[in-house]
Chains A and B, each alone.
Chain A
Amino acid sequence: MSEQNITYLTDVSLLTCVVQSGLSEVILKAARDVGAMAGAISHHARGIGVRERLGLLGVAVEAEKEVISILVSSEQRDLVYDTLYRAADMNIPGRGFIYITPLEKASAYIPQSMMDQLDTSEEQA
């Protein structure tokens, strides 16, 4: 493979989780456990909206948020999505928000060992 070659990864989706600050550890562990290993990015953010609209109950909603973005393959997508939804207890009000964005393509350096593994499995097939 020459240096100029670009490998496009296809069938990629971006999974984004918005949760209250401090939950990112739980999310990342759950994602790792179901094999979403492409790495994750976490941002700190401040949520606006729900807290104000809940009135006094809004104090129970933490305004400090963490936004976690994870790249997943299309086959993993639904499994990871459901797992993270449950791991973060998103069926509790005010807990968080999760969504998927389809990506057209993505590129990064892929370690040679992983590419080799891919070739041998293709030969066997």
Chain B
Amino acid sequence: MTDRTRRFGDYQRLLTAGRNEVSLNAFNPKLERDAGGKLIPYPPRRIKLNTVEVLRLLQPYVSVRFMDQVKAVVPLALYLALFQILFLQHMVEDSWIITGGLFAVIAGLMFFMEGLQLGLMPFGTIIGSQLPRKSPLPLVLFVALLLGISVTFAEPAIGALKAAGGNVAVERAPYLYAMLNDWSEVLVLVVGASVGLAVVVGTLRFLYGWSLKPLIYAALLPVLTLTVFAAFDPELQKVLGLAWDCGAVTTGPVTVPLVLSLGIGIAAAAGKGDSGLSGFGIVTLASLFPIIGVLLLSLFVAYSVTPEEIIEAARQAAATAQAVEPAWYERSPGVEIVLGVRAILPLVLFLFVVLTLVLREKLDNKGEILYGIVLTVIGMCIFNLGLTYGLSKLGANAGGLVPMAFMEVSGMPASPLYVYAVGLGLALAFAWFLGFGATLAEPALNALGITTENLTNGVFKKKTLINAVSIGVGCGIAIGVAKLIFDLPLVWLILPGYLLAMVLTFFSSEEFVNVAWDSAGVTTGPITVPLVLAMGLGLGNATHAVEGFGILCMASIGPIITVMITGLWARHKVKAQTRAATQVPSETHKQEAEAIL
């Protein structure tokens, strides 16, 4: 027989293993009294953490934010790479550089978004809540206008537009080349001013409770007139794609929250902040107004210089560029860093000036805000680097290779890989799924979906909206790619699309008009825009189209139409249900009446 006695101490140690008790009293601070016997206020002491604790604190903080961006970037990049390898039987060129670039995009966006949250959003919240109460309306609107301009400069996707400028052949589209190279600063300024104007009009709209419908008609009239006018000019025609794409580029992760916080603040100060629709409309106008701005700028460029002058100047510039080694700030990676700093600092300065000079407010958490701003700048620089080496390269590669499926591409001996119809179908399916998948993953769309569900009392489900928008973007991108392949004039796609959208707008209810037109702006984030832009330009080069723009604007009109159609269908269904519900009692009334008679 074994000895069955146990020491009680062993039992107790087993029970309390890994546990120990400390009295909270042990941490009590030593309070002191002054001469009068009163307690001296105890200043909170800094908590000191050792290295291990700091690492453990930072690990989840960093990994959550990193994974957020990984989820957005990696599936898209994998899709592009796998499509190339499986269907086009072509390895991804410079795959290591692209992988490094994509990593930079992920890291850059991570820093940028966190910095935005910590460094810029506090400004937006304070200005949004204080400015409308302390200042007269004209001053508030003026600040809104300037804010629109400075946020456009800070938008990460704007860098993609500038990067696209280098790929345009000057001989074939001189005005387009001029606007993206010599006039690129003016171009961004014009886009920014248009966004600023949109902010002003959008703010006035929910201050006075205007309906969005007449504003849409009023904005579309000059947009479509200018478009048709430009379409008749053989040179100006080539700028149309850029003008329409600018509208899609402007509404990104910087513009939307900052501008909305100001707009909602103004509406709240006027006592009109409780309407469910207050946030809507600005995004729509901010994607329509830049089109007018850019088209007007192109007219101005056309009147001030001739195509021959531009080509001549570009030739001379090319000649001198080869002779002189560019300074460090004109070369990659220097140029990306300069661009990053130039994008963020004006916005920060502007916000700071408004806060200190106009509002005379102080920020409570200076260290944190400074950290946020530094993080934003660092993030923007890294993102710009990733844009050049990762997203733009990957998109351009994919765009250049996709036509291989159905047509002969110079330098590719195996092309065409498939029978024309099959290859063409494959290319269009590729474009459709790219748009569909990228939109499905867009976080901003999720937020819009929740708002919509609340707004329509659950009639329009979040999932329905996300699906409708994703299908719309998918179809839009497929049509945009088809435009490049067949070299269709953009007018023939835009005009019917927007006319249809206008008709649908007329028949839809105010809520759906707001949601549908805003969903177009929401879909184009900082990853989709550069990827699709670069893909379009690559595709355009491979198929010998004049310019590769126009895909993004088709991706904007797509969801507008699908969301409104879905909305009309949902309303029809609800109406049919209520009609069925009201008809039954009336029939029973009739029967009762007959019974009495």
Contact = CB atoms under 8 A, between A and B. Distances in A.
Interface in A72-95: 89, 92-95
B46 A55 contact: yes
B357 interface: no
A93 B49 contact: yes
Given A60-B58, A92-B57, A53 B47 contact: yes
A57 interface: yes
A58 interface: yes
Contacts of B44: 49, 52-53
Contact of B371 (A59, A61, A95): A59
A4 to B, nearest CB: 41
Contacts of A57: 49, 54, 57-58
Contacts of B61: 59-60
A104 to B, nearest CB: 23
B18 to A, nearest CB: 9
B49 A58 contact: no
B60 A54 contact: no
By CB atoms of chain A within 10 A, which of B49, B53, B57, B118 has the most?
B57
Nearest to B44: A53
A54 B45 contact: no
A54 B56 contact: no
B367 A55 contact: yes
Given A59-B118, A59-B371, A50 B47 contact: yes
A52 B371 CA distance: 14
B27 to A, nearest CB: 13
A125 interface: no
A54 to B, nearest CB: 6
A63 to B, nearest CB: 11
Given A58-B368, A59-B368, A59-B371, A53 B45 contact: yes
Contacts of B46: 53-55
A56 interface: yes
B495 to A, nearest CB: 46
B57 A60 contact: yes
B455 to A, nearest CB: 22
A61 B49 CA distance: 14
Contacts of B45: 53
Contacts of A49: 44
A77 to B, nearest CB: 14
Given A52-B44, A53-B46, A59-B118, A93 B367 contact: no
Contacts of A52: 44
A79 to B, nearest CB: 13
Contacts of B49: 54, 57, 93
Contacts of A59: 61, 114, 118, 368, 371
Nearest to B114: A59
Interface string A30-64: 00000000000000000001101111111111000
Interface in B256-271: none
Given A53-B44, A54-B47, A59-B118, A92 B56 contact: yes
B47 to A, nearest CB: 5
A93 B55 CA distance: 10
Contacts of A55: 46, 367
Interface string B27-47: 000000000000000001111
A24 to B, nearest CB: 16
Interface string B362-390: 00000110010000000000000000000
Interface in B35-84: 44-47, 49, 53-54, 56-61
Nearest to B118: A59
B53 A93 contact: yes
A89 B53 CA distance: 13
Nearest to B370: A56
A44 to B, nearest CB: 16
A71 B118 CA distance: 37
B53 A56 contact: no
Contact of B367 (A50, A56, A94, A95): A56
B368 A93 contact: no
B56 A93 contact: yes
A60 B117 CA distance: 13
B294 to A, nearest CB: 39
Contacts of B118: 59
B368 A94 contact: no
Nearest to B60: A92
A92 B54 CA distance: 10
A94 B58 CA distance: 10
B158 to A, nearest CB: 27
A75 to B, nearest CB: 15
A54 B46 CA distance: 6
A59 B44 CA distance: 18
A72 to B, nearest CB: 18
A93 to B, nearest CB: 4
A50 to B, nearest CB: 7
B426 to A, nearest CB: 41
A39 B45 CA distance: 39
B188 to A, nearest CB: 31
A93 B371 contact: no
Contacts of A89: 60
A89 B61 CA distance: 13
B31 to A, nearest CB: 18
A56 B44 CA distance: 15
A108 B426 CA distance: 63
B122 to A, nearest CB: 12
B14 to A, nearest CB: 14
A25 to B, nearest CB: 14
A74 to B, nearest CB: 17
Nearest to A94: B57
A89 B49 CA distance: 18
A57 B56 CA distance: 12
Closest 4 CB pairs of A and B: A60-B61, A93-B57, A53-B47, A93-B53
Given A49-B44, A59-B371, A60-B57, 19 more contacts: A50-B47, A53-B44, A53-B46, A54-B47, A54-B49, A55-B46, A55-B367, A56-B368, A57-B49, A57-B58, A58-B368, A59-B61, A59-B368, A60-B61, A61-B57, A89-B60, A92-B56, A93-B53, A95-B60
Interface of B: 44-47, 49, 53-54, 56-61, 114, 118, 367-368, 371
6 contacts: A54-B46, A57-B57, A57-B58, A92-B60, A93-B49, A93-B56
